[in-house]
């Protein structure tokens, strides 16, 4: 897991919509999170969207993501 200050990357995907669905699910469980879209703005096919949460929520968030993704 990569850290950026107090925020930790917990999920990444080339599909920004999927990352945003997971973000909404985490928010519904009171887990603060943000999406950093690193996809190329011209072509939109290169790069990843990264989902970050605060370090104290990492374990709970990962468990929910695993449950959500089956």
Contact 30, 68 (CB under 8 A): no
Q: What is the pLDDT of residue 70?
A: 78
User: Please, which residues have CB within 8 angstroms of residue 66's CB and are 6 or more apart in sequence?
Assistant: none
The total domain count for the chain is: 1
CATH of the domain at 18: 3.30.70.790
The reported pTM is: 0.83
Question: pLDDT digits over 2-58, tens only?
Answer: 566 689 999 999 999 999 999 999 999 999 999 998 876 666 567 899 999 999 999
Q: How confident is the model at residue 1 (pLDDT cuts 50, 70, 90)?
A: low
Tokens of 56: 């104290």
For residue 64, what are the domain limits?
A: 3-69
């Amino acid at each position: 897991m990569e850290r950026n200050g107090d925020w930790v990357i917990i999920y990444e995907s080339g599909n920004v919509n999927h990352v945003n669905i997971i973000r909404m699910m985490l928010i519904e469980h009171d887990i603060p999170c943000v999406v950093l879209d690193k996809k190329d703005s011209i072509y939109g096919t290169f790069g990843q969207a990264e989902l970050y949460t605060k370090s104290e929520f990492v374990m709970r968030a990962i468990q929910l993501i695993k449950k959500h993704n089956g």
